[in-house]
Amino acid sequence: DIVLTQSPDSLAVSLGERATINCRSSQSVLSSSTNKNYLAWYQQNPGQPPKLLIYWASTRASGVPDRFSGSGSGTDFTLTISSLQAEDVAVYSCQQYYTTPWTFGQGTKVEIK
Amino acid sequence: QVQLQESGPGLVKASETLSLTCIASGSSISSHHWSWIRQAPGKGLEWIGYIYYSGSTNYNPSLKSRVTISVDTSKNQFSLKLSSVSAADTAMYYCARGGLGATAGLFDLWGQGTLVTVSS
């Protein structure tokens, strides 16, 4: 199985400041045939199901504010929230859909400092 | 508006079979891949398995021996059965829609989830 390890487990950021979450994969999720990274990010607000934020490592899902951005390739990925808003308090998880079993990172909790 | 809604018992006895159903509204189940995903309290997400409307399935090897996912296209729903449950199966269970082809494992629509507790 592909293991995804996120860092940090939690972080507290002031409103308007940048939040950065890392996701490292135990093996590459970059397809040589499509040149795409099969890596997604989800946001999970308390008591809610996950919501798709980013796919193909850097493509924002429909309706996602542009303060959210994804980057990285191969085994190392980053989710950045450029200017943290109150509604961004949530748990963020990365997920690989490169090969089954599809797997998720353990999640990173983002709070307001 | 496309929605998924899980239903089933919230309490299951240890060693028995957990059974859940997910009904899709606003979207035909005769397309896309349809998955079950769970989240134990305070833990990360775990993919359980998927079914395609044709009936083809793929299960997480860690649960494969105990999982059955089925689909009923006439009712626009799919179901999960997990046998021989234990306390370790206590979790929020979500149904989710995956894409087609290379995005089968990309989940763009989720149900609200249903909490299943396994009692001894």
Is residue B31 over pLDDT 90? no
Q: Which of A102, A103, A109 to mutate to test the interface with B (most CBs of B within 10 A)?
A: A102
Mean pLDDT across chain A, nearest whole number? 98
What span, in angstroms and rounded, lies between the C-alpha atoms of B46 and A101? Answer: 9
Q: What is the pLDDT of residue A67?
A: 98
Q: Can you name the residues that pair with A102 across neighbouring β-strands?
A: none
Which residue type does A68 have? Answer: F
- Chain B segment 60-79 residues within 8 A of A by beta carbon are 60-62
pLDDT at B27 over 90: no
Say whether A100 and B58 touch across the interface (CB within 8 A).
yes
Residue B1 has pLDDT above 90, yes or no: no
Task: List, as one string, the DSSP characters of B20-81.
Answer: EEEEEESS-SSSSEEEEEEE-TTS-EEEEEEEETTS-EEE-TTTGGGEEEEEEGGGTEEEEE
The per-residue pLDDT for range B72-107, each reduced to its tens digit, is 999 999 999 999 999 999 999 999 999 999 999 999
pLDDT for A3-21, tens place per residue? 999 999 999 999 999 999 9
Nearest to B82 by CA among B53, B105, B56, B116: B116
- What are the residues whose beta carbons fall under 8 Å from the beta carbon of B114, sequence distance 6 or more? B6, B7, B8, B10, B20, B92, B93
Question: What pLDDT is stored for residue A32 in this prediction?
Answer: 96
3-state secondary structure of A60: strand
Residue type, B120: S
Kindly state the average pLDDT of the residues A72-99.
98
Q: Read off the pLDDT band of B113 (50, 70, 90).
A: very high
Beta carbons of B32 and B97 less than 8 angstroms apart: yes
Min Cα distance B109 → chain A (Å) is 8
